[in-house]
Chain A
Amino acid sequence: MPVYLKNKAFDPFQEVQIQQKRLEENAGFAKYGATAIFIGSMRDFNEDQKISEMTLEHYPGMTESALETICQEAQSKWPILDSLIVHRVGKINLNDSIVVVAVWSAHRGAAYDANRYIMEALKSRAPFWKKEQTPEGVKWLETNTISE
């Protein structure tokens, strides 16, 4: 159930592939029947404002442990085989991936539900802060949007 913070652009599909290969090697091939993947990317707008660039600050140490705790919670709630979180930090450009959450399970129900749980918990508890560059200047995002 690895958790990675990356300070450079990453390919979310490659990250999922690498972890899926590990799972196949460790757990034995064909144990999972479902892989649920969520990818969050940087948009060029937020709250009706244009955004050209973003910086993501985090709390080193606490961020990783919060994400690990969230994955453990998901594993205790659903029969999942593995999970992966990769999250960007630092300066982020348009279209860059911000986060990928992947969950592997025998069946789709647990994979979908655990993936949603991890993503929502990350949004409300993991100590990351977004600072956006808009035409009016730089501003900190005050709160995360509720799930839509």
Chain B
Amino acid sequence: MPITVKFFARLREELNLDELQITATNGMTALDVWKKATSQSALPSKILIAINQEYAAAESEVNKDDEVAFFPPVTGG
């Protein structure tokens, strides 16, 4: 099943990647998506995750056509 993966800010620059599509399998979590999208690298501490533009945990399961985003702590305002 297709999943869109997005990276923002410092993470986007470090990975040199803003968006990609991956094929996920049933039961895959956001952490599994991270590993697949970044060639099995460890998820850095403090990185935040959103699924379909809502905050989610690394253990959250993903579904078909989900948008999974990874980004550093937010610094707006």
- Binary B-proximity of A47-87 (CB < 8 A = 1, otherwise 0): 00000000011110110010000000000000000000001
Partner of B73, one of A57, A65, A122, A142: A142
Within 8 A of A (CB), among B7-47: 8-10, 13
Interface residues on B, range: 10 to 19
CA distance A61 to B73 in the complex (A): 18
> Are A140 and B77 touching (Cβ within 8 A)?
no
> Are A131 and B9 touching (Cβ within 8 A)?
yes
Q: Which residues on A sit within 8 Å (CB–CB) of B6?
A: 59
Q: Which residues on B sit within 8 Å (CB–CB) of A126?
A: 74, 76-77
A123 is an interface residue with CB less than 8 A from chain B: yes
> Are B72 and A128 touching (Cβ within 8 A)?
no
- Min Cβ gap B49→A in Å is 11
Which residues of B does A touch, CB under 8 Å? Answer: 6, 8-10, 13, 50, 53-55, 69, 71-77
Which residues of A does B touch, CB under 8 Å? Answer: 40, 56-59, 61-62, 65, 87, 98-99, 119, 122-131, 140-144
